Structure 1
Amino acid sequence: MADHGSRTGAGAGNGAPDAVPGDIGRVVASAAADGILAVDADGRVVFCNPAAEELFSRSAAELVGKEFGFPLVVGETTIDLMLPDRNVRVVEMRVTTALVETDTLHVAALRDITRRRRAQQELEAALERQNVVVAVAAHQLHNPLATIGVLADTLLDHRAVLSDRARAAAVHRIAERTAHLQALVRKLLTAARIDAAAPQAAAEDIPVLPFLIERLGNVTEQIEAVRLSCAPGLVARVDRLAFSEMLTNCLENAFTHGRPPVRARVVARDHQWLEISVSDHGDGVPEEFAPQLFERFTRGPNAELAGEGTGLGLWVVRGLARANGGDAWYEPSSAGGACFRLRLPRAPDE
């Protein structure tokens, strides 16, 4: 509100100046809302109730006599109210007009709907995410399921003449596509858990080296292409399932988008933190794309050509790392490829 000086008789700190006719108070009292302002024909505030003082974060002395600053159109509208601390409140305003003696008086009934608007925006964003998840899932599920269906029909067709080698190749391809579907479902379920802010399981002390070896055995047949570096005594304090998801996604990302050899390295930065890096010898990440790496459903420039990946893996990694008190980020690898780093809490020394 612009300060044009107090009018004669206006400015009592209790919001009801003596010079304001008593009829204004009766008009204001008849309105039902959180905050009430009475504004004269010149657009200046002549009355405010305590709820309006709280809503504007200003005293009655600061409000009365000043220009209201918003259009006074009979009916309902929504305004953005700038507070002294520069925060913004979303306010629903209902304006009525009364005739007090011979003066026209506008009564603005104000209700703070900031939380309602924020909840509505969050709901809309959640629904949009769900729509995207369904679209991505449908797209990513279609091709593997179609491949499995064709191969299964071929194997079941007694009229088909297949050599043992061809039959084994078909079975291997079915197993490969099934593993891809399982990984996709795992990512989608993890993303849903992160969105729902589901509580993490209790963190536990996990010896990192044997855990890494187990993950390598589970996620890839190219284990011989992984160079592992980790001191035997390092122990992480982290949720076991989340730790597995983070490592799995980092390794899958390196083999999908990089080239071997892939290096997994674990070091203790201090008594509080462990740092895990997974790097490859691929082409790296284009500089202009690097800021988007950890965004949900973001895929690299060549991902569409490859036809694989949901754009969820790295988003899941960062979400789980932060949920466990750590973080995840990207750096160009000294070997010329990509390097993804995890910082996770270290178990206290015994």
Structure 2
Amino acid sequence: MSEHSSAWFPDDVSRLVVEASADGVLAVSGEGIILLCNTAAEDLFARPAADLVGSPFGFPIAVGASEIDLLLPSGQKRVVEMRVTATTLRGERLHVAALRDVTRRRDAEHALAAELERQNIVLAVAAHELHSPLAAISVLAHVLRDSETTLTRQRRVEITNSVIERTASLQALVHKLLTASRIDAVGERSVVERVPVLEVVLEQIADLGENAGHVRVSCPEGLVAAVDRAEFTEMLANYLENAFAHGRPPVEIRAGVKAGGVEVRVIDRGSGVPTSFVPHLFERFSRGPGSDRRSEGTGLGLWIVRNRARANGGDAWYELGWRQGACFCLRLRQAVVNRPEPESSAQLR
């Protein structure tokens, strides 16, 4: 407490009570000048009592509770809850302010509000995206049940295949939602390993079914990335899904070494992305405008790619492709090539 405190608190007990308070305590004159402060106030303002006492308080003084933003000398901001009472001491009108740092509480409240908003969006997106495939599966299942004796074998096969396709789309949706929740989870770590890029590219093309014939690949055989293999597979799968959903074939995958890293580009022959939407491409639940977008999707795929890429020490971005198509880029760390150490002269024969 400041050296002037004895003038205001001749009672030792009163001084001890103020000094022991966990809250910062200030006495402010009617002119807004700080007359005394306790140790907690020094810590809160990050300034010694010698600097505080005699200086302007700098905030409006009003009896009651309020909240102020306190800017420290370091530039850090603290959110402070202030409770002010008015009193008269030795014939002078004073305001006594009790100050409590609530920065962590406010940060936690904001984080909780943001998380609740994210969960609400997830539920809304899930409900919207689940509705159409579930409704279609229900209709097809009823057709199979109610028309069992009248359906031809070919028609039954077509309906069954349609059910399988819609079920697969539901599984993909659930997978993306679960992936998003894992990315948000604290403590998830990528398991970085040496991954042959061409091997993963060919595996993903094999999973494209009929679309596999519309993919061209340019990738050196010896290209190896330092990345979590499962996450790299997921990144590439999302890029390819995006190319066929929102672009046009043929789709080209180009991979190589650039500036000491591995770069993979997935290029389609569609109309590209509207310039105004490019800054929002990799945002969570971001779905662009345009009547040529034949599948809305969840708006999670590209967000997952960028998060996975950065977790592996890389990045993901968009460029205008060849002839106005879309080019989605991925940068990963290049794996160090292990070269055998040369034998020492003593070992040479």
Query: With structure 1 as the length reference, what TM-score do the two structures score?
Result: 0.90
Structure 2 residue matching 1:289: 3-state secondary structure: helix
Q: Is the 8 A contact 2:287 2:296 kept in 1?
A: no
**Aligned partners of 1:250 and 1:305: how far apart in 2?**
15
2:54 is aligned with 1:65 = yes
Tell whether the 8 Å contact from 1:16 to 1:48 is kept in structure 2 after alignment.
no
Mapped partners of 1:23, 1:303: distance in 2 = 79
Q: 1:246 to 1:135 in 2, by over 3 A?
A: same
Aligned match for 2:2, one of 15, 23, 27: 15
Q: What stretches of structure 1 of length at least 5 have no aligned partner?
A: 1-13
Residue of structure 1 in register with 2:184 after alignment: 195
Q: Which runs of 5+ in 2 are unaligned?
A: 339-349
Residue 148 (structure 1) aligns with? 137
Distance 1:320 1:153, change over 3 A: same
List per-residue Cα deviations over 1:205-252 (Å, max 9, x = no partner).
Answer: 111111111112224430010011111111111112211110111000
Give the corresponding residue for 1:229: 218
What secondary structure does 1:205 align onto?
strand
Instruction: Please tell me the residue identity of whatever aligns with 2:8.
Output: P
Structure 1 equivalent of residue 103 of structure 2 = 114
* Partner amino acid, structure 2, of 1:134: L
Match of 1:94 among 83, 90, 94: 83
Shift of 1:332: 0.4
SS of equivalent residue, structure 2 residue 266: strand
On the 8 A contact 1:41/1:106 being kept in 2, the answer is yes
Work out the CA distance in 1 between the residues paired with 2:316 and 2:286: 16
Aligned residues of 2:245 and 2:295 also touching (Cα < 8 A): no
In structure 2, do the counterparts of structure 1 residues 191 and 76 end up closer, same or farther at CA, with 3 Å as the change threshold?
same
| AA in 2 matched with 1:22 | F
Q: Which sits farther off after the overlay, 75-84 or 121-130? A: 75-84
State the superposition RMSD in angstroms. Answer: 2.1
Cα distance in 2 between the residues matched to 1:24 and 1:346: 71
Aligned position for 1:311: 299
Q: Does the CA contact (< 8 Å) of 2:234 and 2:305 recur in 1?
A: yes
Partner of 1:8: none
Judging changes above 3 Å, is the alpha-carbon distance between structure 1 residues 88 and 295 closer, same or farther for their aligned structure 2 residues?
same
Could you tell me which residue of structure 1 aligns to residue 69 of structure 2?
80
Work out whether residues 284 and 332 of structure 1, in 8 Å CA contact, stay in contact via their aligned partners in 2.
yes
In 2: Cα distance, 1:259 partner to 1:307 partner: 13
Encode CA deviations 1:91-133: one digit per residue, 9 max, x unaligned. 0112223332222222111111111111110111011101100
| Counterpart contact for 2:246–2:293, Cα < 8 Å | no
Q: Tell me, what secondary structure is at the counterpart of 2:275?
A: coil
Shift of 1:73: 2.3
Q: Is the 8 Å Cα contact of residues 45 and 67 (structure 1) preserved in structure 2? A: yes
- Alignment counterpart, residue 246 of structure 2, candidates 236, 257, 261: 257
Look up the match of 1:327.
Answer: 315
Partner Cα separation in structure 2 for residue 321 and residue 29 of structure 1: 56
Q: Any idea what SS the aligned residue of 1:335 has?
A: helix
Mapping 1:265-344, distance limit 5 Å: 265-271=254-260, 273-302=261-290, 306=294, 308-344=296-332
Q: Residue deviations 1:253-312, cap 9 Å, x none?
A: 0000000000111101244x1001111000000001100101111101037974530111
Residue 18 (structure 1) shift: 7.0
After superposition, the Cα gap between the structure-2 partners of 1:160 and 1:284, relative to the gap in structure 1 and judged at 3 Å, is farther
Q: Distance in 1 between matches of 2:10 and 2:167?
A: 77
Superposition map of 1:103-252 within 5 A: 103-158=92-147, 161-252=150-241
Distance 1:281 1:25 in 2: 82
Superposition deviation, residue 61 in structure 1: 2.5
AA of the residue aligned to 1:276 = V
Is the deviation greater in 94-103 or in 256-265? Answer: 94-103
Hey, what's the Cα distance between the residues in 2 that align with 1:18 and 1:169? 89
Structure 1 contact 97–105 (Cα < 8 Å) conserved: yes
Please tell me whether the aligned partners of residues 28 and 38 of structure 1 are also in contact (alpha carbons under 8 angstroms). no
Identity of aligned residues (%): 52
Distance 1:324 1:215 in 2: 20
